[in-house]
Structure 1
Amino acid sequence: MGQTKGSEMKQELFLPDDYRPADDEPFMNDRQLEYFRRKLHEWKQDLLSDSRDTIEGLQDNTRNIPDVADRASEETDRALELRTRDRQRKLVAKIDAALRRIDEGEYGYCEVTGEPISLKRLDARPIATMSLEAQERHERREKVHRDD
C-alpha cells in the first residue's frame, strides 16, 4: 500500500464562482493565486482538447481529392490549422511556465522591474511576465531594432 505524503497534499481552496481578484486585498494572496491557477489550468485544458480534435480531424480528412483546386484548398486549410496548433503549443508552454511561477511564488511580478503586474492585465492575459509599462518599452525597443 502506498503512503500518503501529508505535506505534499494541498487542501482545495474554496473560491466562489463569482470571485475576481481585487486591488483592495493583499497582492497574490492564496485566493488570487488559486484563481489564476484555475484560470490557467482551464485555458490549458481547452487548448489541449482543441488540439486533440484537430489531430482527429486531420486523420479523418486524409483522402484522395481528384480536383486540383479542391486539393490545394484543403492543403491550405490544413497548413493554416497546423500553424494555429503550433501557436497553441507555444501557448501551452507559456501556461506551464506561468503555473511554475505560481508554485515558485514569482507569479504576478514583472520579470524586468520586479513590480506587481496589474490584476486587470493578469486577468486579461494570465501568462503576462511583464507589467504593461515594461512590455511597452520592450516592444518599442524591438520595433527600433527591427527597423535597422
Structure 2
Amino acid sequence: MGDLGIWAAWAAALTSAATLVVTTVVGGRREHRLWVRDALTDAFVAFLEASWQHSDLFHAQSGQSESPPAGATEAYAEMRSQLTRLRLLASGNVLRACEELLRQQRGVAEAGAGADRRAALARVSELRRKVVAAAKTEMGL
C-alpha cells in the first residue's frame, strides 16, 4: 500500500506542475495580447486625437491665412510620434492607412486657404474613417 501512495503522490505532484506550467504559459500569452491591445488602443487614440486637433486648427482658421495656425506643427509632430509607436505594434494595413492620413494632414498644411484647404480637410476626414476601420480590424472589433 505504501508504494501505491508514493506513486499517487508523484502523479499528483507531476499533474500539479504540468497545470502550473500550462497556466503560466497560457496566462502569459493572454497578458501579452491584452498589453498589445491596450498599447494599440492608446496609440490609435493619440494618433487620431492629434489628427482631429490638426484639422480643427486649420478648419477654425477658415481661409484667413496661408500660414499654419498656432499648434498645428505640434499636432502634426504628435501624429508622427504616435505613428512610430504604431510601427512597432500594428500590421502593414494599419500603417499604410495611418501613413496616408499623415501625408494628407501635411497636404492640409500645404494647401492654400479656401477651396483647396477645404478639399484637403474633406480627404482627411475620409482617411480618418479608413484608419478607424483598419484599427478595428487590427484589434478584432
User: TM-score scaled by structure 1?
Assistant: 0.35
TM-score, scaled to structure 2 = 0.37
Question: Greater Rg, structure 1 or structure 2?
Answer: 2
